[in-house]
Chains A and B, each alone.
Chain A
Amino acid sequence: MKKTIWKKVIDLGVFALVLVLGFLYLNKVFGFQDNTHSRAAFKQFYEMPENVADVAWIGSSAVQEYIIPMQMYEEYGVTLLPLALGSMPFDATELLIKEVEKTQDPSLYLVDLRDLAFEPLADPGIRRVTDNMKLSKNRFDLIDKLTNDWQAFHPVGNLDRFDYYFSFMKYHSRWQDLQKTDFTDDENCFMGYWISTGTESFDKKQIMSYFDTEEKPIPEENVVFLNEFLDFCDGFGKKVVFTCTPNCLDEEYFAQFNFAKRIIRERGYEVWDMNDHVDEIGLDYATDFRGKLHVNTLGAEKVTHYVAQQLVEKYNLKDHRGEEKCRVYERYAELYHRKRNEAYLSLETDLDKYLDYLLELSDGTTIYMTTFGPQGAYLTDAHIEKLRKLGLVQAGGLKGEDYHSYLAIVSDGEVLHETIGVDNADSTYATYIGNTKVSMSSASWKGRYGCSIRLGVSERSLGENGINIVVVDKESGEVLDSVAFDTADPAVSCTRSGNN
């Protein structure tokens, strides 16, 4: 009898354990997810080795989309740890500093003041922070604080903190929207930073005219939160510097920034307004912003370089390059550079620069090339040289007015196949690369059956005039780019699907 009872108890215990583990896994899969990579940003923060960061930067997307920590490390050996998420409520700053202090010991904290000019958002502002934090007392304290603060200033809205404690209650219905990043690591987030390639132009003169505009009060609740935080800083014992990253917002926001800056300075704290240093940073208002609120990757690289330089000069930070515990920065740097090149590869319209990207990405990719019609009238020696660097020794034969068919495959930097047609002959080639069936053809004379790069059952080339290039990630099989450069056109125009 006793044995039966014990057997039952053990049986139930095992079952309960399986259920709990299953639930924990589900809780992880069905977590917060949006296009700002906040889940990955927190995950990567928690995975950082202990006591590696000299600087921590807390803020909203005004930090997250501006700072590339890996670049800082590569250029100056600065170990900066961002903990920044889109629309992060300012009143979360204090407890997030506590979260950082659990595993890091930075000597300097940077705190961005951008979101003081905005009305706080309940969801998703709170959720981006609390739903992604590890289970701890600090998390529950943060939920209580943020929901209480919200309720104090928004009595009509009703936030049930229970929903924030158990975020699964909200996200269980995400079964309809699950994606790859719910099950695997987010490959597009690098120490909180994510690549953005969009561009929007702004009138630099006009934006700069807003910098010294007369103050306008920030929202009442943010005044309270700012003063509370300044009270915290008074007793904190570490250096805290407030920042304002470059942006193209309307005049009223700069007026509010000026209001906030004054309060902070009156309390004896330093404010580093980078808007006043845009020329030093080298920001181009025509190409470096992706909207009023954020720079794109080109802009972020410039801001990162500037910030790193300033941090080293002002605060005499140690150069950590080569240290064992900073390997994490090197690992993310490698991943970031690859993804960055892939992102800009698919935007590049200049053949010369495109070939530079191909050279950078040759390891880990398979590059397919085929030609159609008159090819080489405007191929330059520089183009040919770069093609040769890829290993394509016969590419020189394409230069000029003659018609040639041409097929080439370069995989992991190694030329697997290269054919140039003789006397107007067309070329075809078929093979298997890994598990992928490859069929290629190239017509020397326009009007024949055209050119083709077929991978599996899918046609991947554009079949346009000139050189058609398809770039495939070797590991995943994902097509990174399919492009055509018309080398018979004086401008060597570029075509991608969707912009014919």
Chain B
Amino acid sequence: MTITSLSFFLFLIGAVTVYYIAPSKFQWVRLLLLSLIFYGLAAKPVTFLYVLISTGMAWCVTNGMESGRKKKDGAKNLQTWKFIMVLTIVIDVFLWFFLKGREFITSSLWGLNQLFPSIRVIELPPVAVAMGMGYYTLQIISYTIDCYWENAKPQRNFLKLLLFCSFFPQMITGPISRYDQLSSLYEEHRIKYVNLAHGTQRILWGMFKKIVVAERCGIIVNAVWADFTLYGGIYTWIALLLYPLQLYSDFSGCCDIVIGVAELFDIKLVENFKNPFFSQTSQEFWQRWHITLGTWAKDYVLYPVLKSTRLQKLNKKLKNRFGKKAAKFITTAIGMAVLWLVLGIWHGAFRHIIGVSLWYWIILMLEDFLKPRTEKLNAKFGFKTDSFGWKFFRAVRTYLTYSLGIVFFRAKDVAQGFSFLREVGRTFTPSRWNPWILFDDSILKLGISYKDINVIVISVLALIAVAAFREKHGYARNWIDTQPVLFRRTLYVALLLAVVLLGAYGPGYSASAFIYGQF
């Protein structure tokens, strides 16, 4: 059962009814049961064992630490519990590696085999994986560490903690919530029209992005990637520039659905995207894209590394030798390298480390290094850095940077990624230069019609309009709420029609799974 399927929406209608129809006391229990039912329908029920193990370990450790703190020899006790905490985190990570990280292990060995043929590639047999393992593992680790840091109070009720881990909308693609962000899970909620309306609108918007935009872009992207020897030249540029749009529409569309579903239950989840393609720099981009993963990595990887004793000592040494700026740059580079390595590993494939992580680490450090110099240059040449044109140029540059790096996310391995980039580069050579494909209907060979292309163009304009509105004025739906009822209803009926008529669903479509659902 996917969250764009009719069966999910039937389940959701039943779930919302069950949630509100009975007295509001113990609503959280009903929510937990619904989450368990959802899990049973959407994944192999036996794999819920892993969720139970992770939750159980976190519950024991955090409550143990709490009672340890209160005891007389609290400090010594805490040290022991800290050790146990680290052990549970290691077990969580090990479980993740054992189940989700198999592909990473295999693809890493394969990648290393390309460089060092003596390294053997071992194919690990597949195992059933817990749904949303990448997401709930990070959630439970953040909860454990927050309790250790005393940023959160440990949850005494095991079932409540289980609900935090397994709240069903989040199990597909996140967002990765912190414990304090989901405290409303345990409160009593009354049915409110505004929640039902906003939730439904958000779900509709997410569906539009996923099954109208993302699936359509996917037709073109997949066709080119399936044979970029045949579809070389300009075709590769089309796929290169369209893939980020596909990925964004797919992932953020899913997040919209998830947030909308949670809103139906009067639970507010954190936003995971904030108009990333309006970013002026790559640094800003990663503050707007998959926000919860970025902040998680920042809070639980980057800052602890930067604040670690080793790095502090190194910083001091470098400061004395090279100066404050250089020392900061180098230590930041080391911290960022660790962060990007962790992110690359979390995405579960060797190509992510080489392509995505390495690429962005280089880009971000370059940006940091060049920033003061480019500011001087801009001032010297009198560039109008406040102008729309300048901002547009920077946004396009950021988009292009992202497009190049994300090639490795799309490629099946590192070699294919580089091969694709080579094709992209060769576009401007005489043998591959083929701009006529934009005019002679060749594009239709990719399996798409002009009507579909028109739908993509109009949809992108709609996405830009909504994003631009959000950038300046906040959520468009809040503004729509203030409009006359006929206008509002017409707008949402038009959106519903767009989803129902233009969506890629039903027989004849093999609806692709959410790209980020694999994590």
Contacts and interface: CB of A to CB of B under 8 A. Distances in A.
Nearest to A22: B493
Interface in B498-514: 500-509
A172 interface: yes
A458 interface: no
B500 A172 contact: yes
A175 B497 CA distance: 11
B507 A170 contact: yes
Interface residues on B, range: 10 to 19
Contacts of A173: 501-502, 504, 506, 508-509
A10 interface: no
A168 B509 CA distance: 13
Nearest to B492: A15
A169 B506 contact: yes
Contacts, number: 39
Interface in B475-491: 485, 489
B507 to A, nearest CB: 5
Interface string A163-179: 10010111011011000
A26 B497 CA distance: 10
A11 B489 CA distance: 11
B489 A163 contact: no
A172 B507 contact: no
Contacts of A175: 451, 501-502
Interface in A17-73: 19, 22, 26, 30
Given A11-B485, A26-B500, A169 B493 contact: no
The dominant DSSP class at the B interface is helix
B449 interface: yes
A170 B500 CA distance: 11
A162 B1 CA distance: 14
A160 interface: yes
A183 to B, nearest CB: 15
Interface in B433-460: 449, 451-452
A134 interface: no
B507 A176 contact: no
A8 interface: yes
A160 B508 CA distance: 12
B489 A172 contact: no
A163 B6 CA distance: 11
A211 to B, nearest CB: 41
Given A26-B500, A175-B501, A163 B507 contact: yes
B193 A8 contact: yes
Contacts of A160: 507
Contacts of B506: 163, 168-170, 172-173
Contacts of B508: 170, 173
B166 to A, nearest CB: 28
Contacts of A166: 6
B456 to A, nearest CB: 14
A122 to B, nearest CB: 11
A172 B193 contact: no
B501 to A, nearest CB: 5
Nearest to A12: B193
Most buried by A among B6, B452, B504, B508: B508
B505 A15 contact: no
Nearest to B489: A15
Nearest to B504: A173
B106 to A, nearest CB: 31
Given A22-B493, A176-B449, A176-B451, A169 B505 contact: yes
B507 A169 contact: yes
Contacts of A26: 500-501
Nearest to A23: B500
Contact of B493 (A11, A19, A162, A170): A19
B512 to A, nearest CB: 16
A30 B503 CA distance: 14
Interface in A169-194: 169-170, 172-173, 175-176
A166 B506 CA distance: 10
Nearest to A163: B507
Contacts of A163: 506-507
Most buried by A among B452, B485, B500, B509: B500
Contacts of A19: 493, 496
A4 B171 CA distance: 37
A15 B491 CA distance: 13
A168 B451 CA distance: 20
A8 B191 CA distance: 14
Contacts of A172: 500-501, 503, 505-506
A30 B485 CA distance: 28
Contacts of B493: 19, 22
Contacts of B505: 169, 172
A169 B493 CA distance: 18
A395 B144 CA distance: 102
Nearest to B496: A19
A162 to B, nearest CB: 8
Nearest to B508: A170
A166 B505 CA distance: 12
B119 to A, nearest CB: 42
A169 B6 CA distance: 10
Contacts of A169: 6, 505-507
A8 B503 CA distance: 30
Contacts of A11: 485
Contacts of B193: 8
Contacts of A22: 493
Contacts of B502: 173, 175
Contacts of A15: 489
A169 B503 CA distance: 10
Contacts of B507: 160, 163, 169-170
A168 B503 CA distance: 12
A8 B193 CA distance: 9
Contacts of A170: 506-508
A30 B508 CA distance: 15
Contacts of A168: 506
B488 to A, nearest CB: 10
Nearest to B193: A8
A173 to B, nearest CB: 7
Contacts of B504: 173
A169 B506 CA distance: 5
A475 B161 CA distance: 73
B24 to A, nearest CB: 18
A11 B197 CA distance: 13
Nearest to B451: A176
A173 B448 CA distance: 13
Contacts of B452: 176
A460 B500 CA distance: 42
Interface string B157-179: 00000000000000000000000
Given A172-B503, A173-B502, 7 more contacts: A11-B485, A19-B493, A163-B506, A168-B506, A170-B506, A172-B501, A173-B501
5 contacts: A19-B493, A170-B507, A172-B503, A173-B509, A175-B451
Interface of A: 8, 11, 15, 19, 22, 26, 30, 160, 162-163, 166, 168-170, 172-173, 175-176
Instruction: Name the 5 nearest CB pairs between A and B, nearest first.
Output: A169-B506, A163-B507, A176-B451, A175-B501, A170-B507
Interface of B: 6, 193, 449, 451-452, 485, 489, 493, 496, 500-509
